[in-house]
Structure 1
Amino acid sequence: MIRTRREAPKRRTLDDIFATPDELGLLAVTPPKSSAPSADQRMVATLQGIEVFMDTHGREPQEDATDLNEATLAVSLAALRSDPTKVVALADWDTRGLLVASTSDSHDVCHEDQPATSEEAEQGAGNGATEFSSPSPEKATVSPDSVTSLDDILDSDPLGLLSGGDESVESIFNLTHVPENSERDMPDEIAQRTHCDDFYRFEGLFDLVREELREGDAEAVPFQMESQIEEGDMFVLNGMLCIADQVGEESVGAGRKFNPRLRVVFDNGTESNLLLRSLARALYKDETGRRILRRDNTFDAMQGITHHDKRTGLIYILRSLSQDPALRGIRNLYKIGYTEKELDQRIAGAERQQTYLEAPVQIVTSFECYNLDPRRFERLVHAMLHHQRVNVLLHSRDGSTYRPREWFDVELDTAREIVRRIVDGTISQYRMDNTVGRLVKK
């Protein structure tokens, strides 16, 4: 057998790719034209803004003005005058001669046909009447292309706007025209999203609500008012389900309006200590913000059931409608069982199931289980009624035989009381009197 060995393909670099002829012109990309104004256009706009101010007020803008816009124009005018390059560039636009005018009220203008004498020049220099002076080396303007460090930026600051620490110097760090923030009553702490350590308590509830929304058993309606936020209420905020797990008793922040801090748990496993009005404001702003309406909430609240109470199943009591001769003589024949489904679904097709004695059944009563292990609950019921369990041998329709395990010969009131005592935790104080078939205190 002849084996051939292939060499590993050579990895191409970017230089190799760009060196390859581009027949389709895929690499010929024309850079987009910038729509931003150029530096010259910005200078012209600044000069025109100064002229508009002078037309309106009849004077040049002052740097010590209380109006921020006027002070800004004055600083811009001074910057243009101090830069000979800009003065030359704006010569055609400077129709008023603003950039060639002296900065002093007592200056002498030098005409080209009458040069100033040396004495006048010295006097003008002493009075600060010199029109332009070459910038000092440390304040020379730096080209943007040559800026390589922060020092280059600081050295190109002819007006000293980047200086700090001296309040007498105009600086961008001295907020002379910006009003200070007024003191307000602020909350002691700001809401932040953190990991929810007990998220396991809410995960099943979120899954249940999603299922209810899909089945139409719950409704998502637009949020309308803050008063709708109560403990246990659920919402959709920024695409996530959340629940107001706890509502504080005291208002936080300014104002008389009730504004407590909430514990809000989200379905992504996080929680936040939002203020009530902050949550309401977020729901208002969110176009998809919704309040979840559940059908059983009002009824549960009347029974004292909250979102912390987890529904785990259903204990039910059924009466058999069997016509079997072996069962017709049992007066108080009841089945006590448990289901996690809806009871109507559980007993559907009872005529075909040995669990229901292969006969129709009648629902007598049912008990919802919260915060309990329903299977353990069922075992306790069966243990209390051990001696009341029906002991008969029945023949199935398929020819086999079986003995029912969840059917009892017990009075209905006794069965109900056993269930109630298990729920309230007092079952340990009672026992079954097998003589009379009733529950009695120990």
Structure 2
Amino acid sequence: MSRPSLEDIFAEDDEFGLLDVKPRAGRGGPSQDRGVAALLEVTAFHERHSRLPDPDAMDHDEMRLGAIWDTVKSTPTDQMRAMDRLDLLTQNAATTPRSWQDDPIDADIPDSLDAIFAEDDLDVDASLVSLTHTTPSAERHIPDHRADVVPCQDFEQFRERFETVQRGLEAGERKASPVRKWSVIEPIEGDFFIRNGLLAMIAEKSEMTARGGTRDHRLRVIFSNGTESDPLMSSFRKSLNDDKTARTVQKVGLGPLDPEWESDQLELSGTIYVARSRSENPEIKGQRMILHKIGVTSQDVSRRVADAKNDPTFLLAPVEIVATYRLQNLSRSKVESLLHRFFAAALPGRLFVTDRFGKKVHPKEWFYILPEHVGQAAQLIKEGRLHKYRYDVEKQKIILKPKAI
């Protein structure tokens, strides 16, 4: 016997009244109670948030209530109007005040800091939003002086030294020791290294300066292929550490007491230069015409002073070269020491500059003298008579010592 279908079942007599189901009446009575119930919920929501529920809200309960309210408010009943004590039926989400807890509207979000500080109700001190004692990023990315490798114009005076060291390495008279990782190397003039497969000689080590809060020197490095560079000592040290093939070439002799140990020391000719500061510092600018720096270098003078504005030795400002005097067959370091000691009485007592770390630096190469005074002293050095004279600060003249008369 086949089973009856649903149509057969509903077609039979319902003697027990099982299919006689009446709709269940709501607690509020008629159908408009749904609108009243929604009004009561929206009224409670408005009292908590001071706004109508948003049908597009991320919160599920608010989204549900907002969707129901959008439906029932379009056909309000008299009972709903009578119970609308907050006039919610006349409001919409666009005119309802927003709570501080609500997410901001995209149009209200500022596009930049300038838009924020441009608000009329903000009174912000300009010092709080302006950077001081910092170098603009554009200047930081374009250095005034780079230690590029350039042709060495006076390489011929170094060629014999390179050939001698090369022969010593090949004969085993000199040894090349690997540079230990992170080793602190303090090169001096005349030292030889192997870097990137080339012999490198320290031809000049300039006066001490301060970079990044630490002491440093500018070097002149000559390479065996006829080129040169002038890196900071810290940069040269780093380049040796980064080169896995870097070597330190040992000196000739058994140690510092051996006379041959100093055979690599350089006795180079060079140029005496007199520099005048172009600093805008009022204290320096006011005495610009009498305050001069005395330096001696074996390289091109313009290259030596190219990074002056970043170098405390040059008062952290550009300089102009007002005089140069060529040395012939004289030790650069000895001449520089002689000149500084000769004009020591003209050293300014309070001259200092403050670096970007707030540290005071007192340069020792600036003197209250005129360029012609340096020229006179340089001539006396060539003649071997500087020891017979002294610099008189009061008269601002180089005068003969009484004992030398």
Higher RCO (Cα < 8 Å, 6 or more apart):
2
* TM-score, normalisation: structure 2: 0.33
* TM-score, normalisation: structure 1: 0.30
